[in-house]
Amino acid sequence: MADRRPRKRPTTTAGRLMRLTGMTTSIATRVAGHQVKSLFQSADASAASRDKLMEHIGREVAATLGEMKGAVMKVGQIASQMQDILPAQISEQLKVLQNASAPMPFHVIRRQLEKELGGELDSLFREFEQTPFAAASIGQVHRAVTPDGDTVVVKVQYPAVKESIDSDMKHLRRILRLGSLLKVDEQALEAVFREIRNQLQEELDYRQEAGNLAHFREFHQHQPWLIIPRVYDDLSSEKVLTLSLEEGTPLDQVDDAHGFDQQTRNQLGERLFDALGEQIFALRAVHCDPHPGNFAFRPDGTIVMYDFGAVKRLNAQDTELLRNIVMAAMGQHWAELDQHLQALGARKAGTTVNDQFYATWIDLLLRAFGDTPYDFARAELHKDIMRQVKRTPLEQLLKFQPSSRSLLVERVISGHYWTMMKLGVNTAFRPNLERALDNARE
């Protein structure tokens, strides 16, 4: 009988390498077997066999990455939202990586804290809770009390995460290449991975995040309903970040029973939309990790925004392109839309797309941004999009590809679609969208 006991999480570079290499070898063997088998199958049988192969690869990748901390798990989380790059069977399996991961032992965290802050834990903090209240791919968060009596949260990065980025991403790319699993050209793929790697490098520098927090706090001063934590510089470093405790209700508890009526939920949805719209088009820097754990809400309409490690900075040209794309879509100017998408790198040059294709897709994508209220609690936009994908000929879909310049912004938009659904927002967003576009910085 197979041993189904949980495997020990690899904590050394060699251990990580062995686990990733083993997974890659296993997948390569299965892909090779499928390729040989398909030589003796009908087209339908080969397609069915490939679907099963993709599901198996997705489960194996998700299981292995779920055992690991660091860059490879973070990339896996991002990949779970990249249906335009990965086969649906794989991206679906990777969704499990979006959930909170198991914490590191406290002795590892304590050693990291004392090394980074240069002192004994008992002298650095009056109190420090050993059990974290949140654990993620690259670090975990503990409650503590400063020597002055302030209640704070302390984010501690796991050891050796930064050093594993290149090796982790090399193996993940190799896995995704096997059997031509990726549907984009080499140049576009390279740009996407470069964007993810750059974002990870920034996210792993907590001093960079401290600067982001100060930058966003200053920008949002005119929106007192948006709370961004304050940094304690003397208790922070490259791998430790100490912040003011800003409490709120988690997304899954924002309901009538916890004091959030429909009007308040609508207000929260509009305020979140307005904040992100200003970040994209006015600040040209956007909080780009829409995980529900990075947001909390209060019955007075206040939003608390956490975790500014993942911030996408946009240059003026890309901001203008994004604005032009939305404006062309709203105005049903299909030729202009096509031109802007090619300029962004989201449309492959040398191919043509007919107007009906754009009319159908834009009608879907702008459905939630009309002049009449859209009930997100009953939204099935995601299902309609998947149905339309299945109805659309593959050769049409292959005329498009992910653009590294908009990848993370798209992640924000798609991620907060689910936020609006969980909030149960029922409001008309067209005025908010038009206001965001009007506020685009010159």
Full DSSP string of 179-227: GG---S-HHHHHHHHHHHHHHHHHHT-HHHHHHHHHHHHHHGGG-TTEE
Q: Are 100 and 136 in contact (CB under 8 A)?
A: yes
Q: Which of 56-60, 61-65, 156-160, 424-428 has the highest mean pLDDT?
A: 424-428
> Locate tokens 């901390």: which residue?
69
Which tokens in the block code for residue 243?
A: 């912040």
Tell me what pLDDT residue 175 has: 63
- 225: pLDDT strictly greater than 90: yes
Q: How confident is the model at residue 85 (pLDDT cuts 50, 70, 90)?
A: low
Report pLDDT digits (tens) over 262-311.
Answer: 999 999 999 999 999 999 999 999 998 888 889 999 999 999 999 998 89
Angle at 117 between CA 113 and CA 122, to 5 degrees: 65
Query: Which residues partner with 161 through β-bridges?
Result: none
- Longest Cα–Cα distance in the chain: 73
Can you tell me whether residue 286 is helix, strand or coil?
A: strand
Nearest to 410 by CA among 84, 37, 58, 54: 84
Q: Record the tokens describing residue 135, joined without a space.
A: 């654990």
Q: What residues contact 194, with CB distance under 8 A and at least 6 apart?
A: 404
Higher pLDDT, 58 or 376: 376
CB atoms within 10 A of CB 33: 12
Please give the pLDDT value at position 344.
Answer: 95
Nearest Cα residue to 134 out of 164, 96, 104: 104
For 357, the token pair is: 């294709």
Confidence (pLDDT) at 362: 96
> Do 137 and 73 touch, CB atoms closer than 8 A?
yes
Name the phi and psi angles at 221, rounded to 5.
-60, -30
Q: How confident is the model at residue 78 (pLDDT cuts 50, 70, 90)?
A: low
Distance CA 344, CA 183 (A): 18
Q: What is the DSSP letter of 139?
A: E
Asked if 146 and 139 touch (Cβ cutoff 8 Å), the reply is no
The SS3 of residue 307 is: coil
Contact 254, 265 (CB under 8 A): yes
Q: Which of 302, 275, 301 is nearest to 286 (CA)?
A: 275
Which pLDDT tens digit goes with each residue over 162-207? 777 777 777 667 666 654 455 556 666 677 677 777 778 888 899 9
Mutual angle of helices 430-438 and 262-278, in 10-degree steps:
20
Report pTM.
Answer: 0.78
Structure confidence by residue, pLDDT tens digits, 110-165: 999 999 999 999 999 999 999 998 877 788 999 999 999 999 999 999 887 777 77
Which one, of 58, 132, 70, 134, lies nearest residue 96 by Cα? 58
Task: Report all structural domains of the chain as residue ranges with CATH numbers, in order of start.
Answer: 13-98+164-180 (no CATH), 105-157+205-246 (3.30.200), 248-442 (no CATH)
Q: What pLDDT score does 5 carry?
A: 43
Alpha-carbon separation of residue 256 from 246, 262, 421 (angstroms): 22, 8, 15
The angle that helices 355-365 and 316-331 make with each other, rounded to 10 degrees, is 100
Q: Report the alpha-carbon distance of residue 268 to residue 254 in Å, rounded.
A: 10
Q: Where are the alpha helices (DSSP H) in 80-205?
A: 88-94, 106-117, 121-124, 165-177, 186-203
**What pLDDT sits at residue 16?**
62
